[in-house]
């Protein structure tokens, strides 16, 4: 079998190492995300008992960090090795995946615009489920508190949404000190 070899490099060294340096940063960021996600799960005790993953009713933010880390790690690795070794297969995988992610984001944005009412209902349902799980996961609690502080809001639609949580519900038989209240992140800080 006869292989054709080019007399000079197909790709300019400038482009090759520029793509490599970009992807090495991307790959290291993916490693950092993976490390942070695995560390967070080990702190929660999820790595020692994987059934805790299914026990949460709301969103575990660590899952999002791990998924982003896996995608970044894979793409960064494919881009680094593909650029450095001039591996066309890895570069096509890298390019195709980036294009696929872009098209997926574009499709989600168009669908969200076309079906605004349905998206609004799903987002409201998502926030209500996370409000129910507010005290179950400290990471989820911190994210909800940050969102409420930054956006100067309380709950998904209003303070009455906190009645979905058993610790804040007035009608529940709970002996919580927070009964009939809202989290501190809902309160307006007193400048005095």
Closest by CA to 142, choosing from 185, 187, 188, is 185
CATH of domain 116-191: 1.10.1450
- The answer to whether 149 touches 139, Cβ cutoff 8 Å, is no
CA separation for the pair 9, 23 (Å, rounded)? 20
Judge whether residue 119 has pLDDT over 80: yes
pTM over 0.75: no
Mean pLDDT score of the chain, rounded to an integer? 83
- The answer to whether 30 touches 75, Cβ cutoff 8 Å, is yes
The pLDDT of 22-38, averaged and rounded, is 92
- Tens of pLDDT, residue by residue over 132-170, are 888 887 878 888 888 888 888 888 888 888 888 888 887
């Amino acid at each position: 079998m006869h292989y054709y070899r080019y007399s000079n490099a197909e790709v300019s060294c400038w482009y090759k190492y520029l793509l490599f340096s970009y992807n090495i940063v991307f790959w290291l960021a993916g490693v950092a995300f993976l490390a942070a996600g695995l560390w967070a799960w080990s702190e929660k005790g999820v790595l020692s008992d994987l059934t805790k993953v299914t026990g949460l009713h709301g969103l575990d933010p660590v899952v999002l960090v791990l998924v982003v880390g896996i995608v970044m790690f894979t793409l960064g690795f494919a881009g680094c090795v593909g650029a450095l070794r001039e591996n066309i297969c890895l570069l096509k995988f890298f390019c195709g995946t980036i294009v696929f992610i872009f098209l997926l984001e574009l499709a989600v944005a168009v669908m969200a615009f076309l079906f605004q009412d349905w998206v609004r209902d799903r987002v409201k349902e998502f926030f209500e489920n996370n409000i129910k799980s507010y005290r179950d996961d400290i990471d989820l609690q911190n994210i909800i508190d940050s969102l409420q502080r930054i956006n100067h809001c309380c709950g998904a639609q209003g303070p009455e949404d906190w009645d979905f949580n058993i610790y804040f519900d007035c009608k529940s038989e709970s002996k919580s000190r927070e009964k009939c209240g809202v989290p501190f992140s809902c309160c307006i800080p007193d400048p005095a």
